[in-house]
Structure 1
Amino acid sequence: MSDPAYLSLEKLRLSYGSTVAVESLDLTIGKGELVALLGPSGCGKTTTMRAIAGLLAPAGGTIRLDGADITRVAANRRQIGLVFQSYALFPHLTVFDNVAFGLRLKGLKGDGLRAKVEAGLASVGLSAYAARKPPELSGGQQQRVALARSMVMEPKVLLLDEPLSNLDARLRLDMRTELQRVQAETGVTMIFVTHDQAEALALADRIVVMREGRIEQIGTPEEIYNSPASRFVADFVGFENIYAIRDGALHGPKGVVPASGDLPPGAVGLAFRPRHVALGSGPLAGIVRGVSFAGGTREYVLEAPFGTVKAEADASLKAYGLGDTVAFDLPVARAARLERD
């Protein structure tokens, strides 16, 4: 990575009238990075993206791109591409003309225009669809047209707003691969907004988890997945059993959790994924209140004295039924340590 601060947000404050959406955000993104802004609705991720694009004027702070202050630069002069969640294609124009639209506004004509558009369509595998119109395309193909339209403008940064949310599960997997390929081949700095943790984990070099207008944690997918820093991040990335440490003991909603192992010093809590729960043996017991088959695994909801426990076991192992009492354990060594509540 040639420049760790290719794009930087410094003390960024964003608001809608008297409502503050982002309080004071500091973030640096390197040239060629693929970064995800991850969080629930209302956390400020889309608002931050709109400010980077120039669609929302900051109430305070600075946005710098490639060494230049662009905080007050008009959106059409920022060299930033934006792919909308809705794709925003012109339904009456062909694929070729949709991709050519921005280039024509810049005054490009003739063979130069054709060469750029054809290269853009080739880069997303749509050369054979140039004469079609958006209603004649699948959702995944429309997404690729929107991507090509932005990429032919040679942006310094490409922003994508929930880029895969309108696609079915199979197409989402295909488009993940497509986005990674385009980003790797072009080297464009890419930022995408999503509420889907699986999408962020699969695509991003780094993930920025946001909550209520501030950054909760920044890290690689592995860091976010394995070592969430707070209860909020742990819950958001799938740790369904989260317990607080108070007075030297682990506490659940209904009482003390007798987990196996020494509690880590300085931690404020522990988080266990369902697969971290050891089923079938151990000092604890719970009554099965829910069970579901999930292909390679079975997922259980257990009623324990200290509260509900979510557990997961390989489907090849013994199956438990509703009402069964099951022995289990919560090994501290398997848990993620939480540094903030």
Structure 2
Amino acid sequence: MSDANYLSLEKLTLAYGDTVAVDKLDLSIAKGELLALLGPSGCGKTTTMRAIAGLLTPASGTIRLDNVDITRVSANKRAVGLVFQSYALFPHLSVFENVAFGLRLKGIKGRELEKRVEAGIKSVGLAKFVSRKPGELSGGQQQRVALARSMVMEPKVLLLDEPLSNLDARLRLEMRTELQRVQKETGVTMIFVTHDQGEALSLADRIVVMNGGIIEQIGTPEEIYNAPVSSFVADFVGFENIFELSDGALKTPSGTAILKTAAPFDAKGLAWRPANVMLGSGAFEGIVRGTSFAGNTREYLLDTDLGPIKAEVPANLPVHAMGETVAFDLPVNKAAPLNKFG
């Protein structure tokens, strides 16, 4: 098996009783890759992670790691680390003892234990905090302790469940950088589960967007952000103006709308980010129903015959007042063509 198929999920079906949560999923993950499983609650991403970790037995399908079938291997024997969303640190133990806990269970002791724990703590930048208890650490520091505790076990794959969701905005930015640094320096294959598209886009080498137990799209952050293949993915990554196509025209609440430029012949829909809506001129009109200042830009909500339209323009342009009628256009060359709608 090549490094490109270091971890592979083959026709993986996961269920809770009679309810199928993940249906015949195929996914290959490269050695040393940082992969994000992205999607809303209930899409199957956490269930998939639990199966990789050995916490959920598949209904059918195969999980292979480094050319070994681990589908029925117990969680403690499959060389997979897991960092929980809640960190799951022992509050009465020091940083050192929290990181050492798993190693002690494996019978590692003495100087070997000390070397591995000290190296793990140093790798996450907490060498000065070895004697502190979790209650004496910030949320970001606790997250790093949990990361170090998994890393010292030298897993072949490291799983992180919503790793940044418990942190405030500033700490999330810091931990993104920290996770990337640790992953690149160690080369560990890392998979993290998130519902935050910004987190996935900023961290991952590749993103797997899941919906209803299936994969909607796999791609680089740039591919997911710029070229969503379905209306679901487009909506999830911030395309707020999404239309189904009917014979090349936009389907709207009031009928169909013809575009100046022909849509791609095989597209099922078109999607525009607010910044790609041309405001101030064009074939369509809308009434300003909402406006908000966002630093370098100003955002508008328009009431139109096409339905609600969101537009974003540089903040230094003249302001359109509430209730004002404004012309706008939807340039086809600025749209993302969608292969799947609904």
Q: Shorter-chain TM-score category?
A: over 0.9
- SS of the equivalent of 1:155 reads coil
Within a 5 Å distance, the mapping from 1:86-105 to structure 2 comes to: 86-105=86-105
Determine if the alignment matches structure 1 residue 130 to structure 2 residue 127.
no
Q: Is the 8 A contact 2:253 2:305 kept in 1?
A: no
The whole-number CA distance in structure 2 between the counterparts of 1:303 and 1:90 is 54
Q: Is the 8 A contact 2:248 2:262 kept in 1?
A: no
Q: Is the 8 A contact 2:99 2:117 kept in 1?
A: yes
The residue number in structure 2 matching 1:327 is 327
The residue number in structure 2 matching 1:160 is 160
The residue number in structure 2 matching 1:244 is 244
Tell me the CA shift for residue 163 of structure 1: 0.3
For the aligned residues, what is the CA RMSD? 0.9
Q: Is the 8 A contact 1:260 1:329 kept in 2?
A: no
The whole-number CA distance in structure 1 between the counterparts of 2:50 and 2:167 is 22
Moved more, 178-187 or 252-261: 252-261
The whole-number CA distance in structure 1 between the counterparts of 2:258 and 2:302 is 15
Aligned CA distance change for structure 1 residues 254 and 91 (closer, same or farther; 3 Å): farther
Tell me the CA shift for residue 167 of structure 1: 0.5
The whole-number CA distance in structure 1 between the counterparts of 2:150 and 2:253 is 49
The whole-number CA distance in structure 2 between the counterparts of 1:45 and 1:249 is 35
Cα deviations by residue, 1:112-156 (Å, 9 ceiling, x for unpaired) = 111111111110000000000001100000000000000000000
Cα deviations by residue, 1:288-320 (Å, 9 ceiling, x for unpaired) = 001111111111100111211011011111111
Query: Which amino acid in structure 2 is aligned with residue 97 of structure 1?
Result: E
The whole-number CA distance in structure 2 between the counterparts of 1:60 and 1:242 is 36
Tell me the CA shift for residue 259 of structure 1: 3.1
Query: Which amino acid in structure 1 is aligned with residue 105 of structure 2?
Result: L
Percent identity, aligned pairs only, is 73
The residue number in structure 2 matching 1:38 is 38
- SS of the equivalent of 1:284 reads strand
The residue number in structure 2 matching 1:72 is 72
- Number of equivalenced pairs: 340
Within a 5 Å distance, the mapping from 1:268-279 to structure 2 comes to: 268-279=268-279
- SS of the equivalent of 2:5 reads coil
- SS of the equivalent of 1:128 reads helix
Query: Which amino acid in structure 2 is aligned with residue 19 of structure 1?
Result: T
- SS of the equivalent of 2:279 reads strand
Determine if the alignment matches structure 1 residue 189 to structure 2 residue 171.
no
Query: Which amino acid in structure 2 is aligned with residue 307 of structure 1?
Result: G
- SS of the equivalent of 2:3 reads coil
Q: Which runs of 5+ in 2 are unaligned?
A: none
- SS of the equivalent of 1:113 reads helix
TM-score (norm 1): 0.98
The whole-number CA distance in structure 1 between the counterparts of 2:29 and 2:58 is 19
Query: Which amino acid in structure 1 is aligned with residue 55 of structure 2?
Result: L
Cα deviations by residue, 1:205-247 (Å, 9 ceiling, x for unpaired) = 1100000001111011111111111111111110000111112
- SS of the equivalent of 1:27 reads strand
Q: Is the 8 A contact 1:287 1:302 kept in 2?
A: yes
The residue number in structure 1 matching 2:264 is 264
The residue number in structure 2 matching 1:289 is 289
Query: Which amino acid in structure 1 is aligned with residue 279 of structure 2?
Result: L
Query: Which amino acid in structure 1 is aligned with residue 66 of structure 2?
Result: D
Tell me the CA shift for residue 252 of structure 1: 2.2
- SS of the equivalent of 1:234 reads helix
Tell me the CA shift for residue 12 of structure 1: 0.5
Tell me the CA shift for residue 253 of structure 1: 3.0
The residue number in structure 1 matching 2:57 is 57
Query: Which amino acid in structure 2 is aligned with residue 325 of structure 1?
Result: T
The residue number in structure 2 matching 1:312 is 312
Tell me the CA shift for residue 27 of structure 1: 0.3
The whole-number CA distance in structure 2 between the counterparts of 1:254 and 1:88 is 53
The whole-number CA distance in structure 1 between the counterparts of 2:253 and 2:161 is 37
- SS of the equivalent of 1:4 reads helix
Tell me the CA shift for residue 282 of structure 1: 1.5
The whole-number CA distance in structure 2 between the counterparts of 1:256 and 1:321 is 28
- SS of the equivalent of 2:327 reads strand
Q: Is the 8 A contact 2:249 2:259 kept in 1?
A: no
The whole-number CA distance in structure 2 between the counterparts of 1:263 and 1:44 is 33
The whole-number CA distance in structure 1 between the counterparts of 2:240 and 2:90 is 43
Within a 5 Å distance, the mapping from 1:142-161 to structure 2 comes to: 142-161=142-161
The whole-number CA distance in structure 2 between the counterparts of 1:316 and 1:84 is 45
The whole-number CA distance in structure 2 between the counterparts of 1:176 and 1:254 is 45
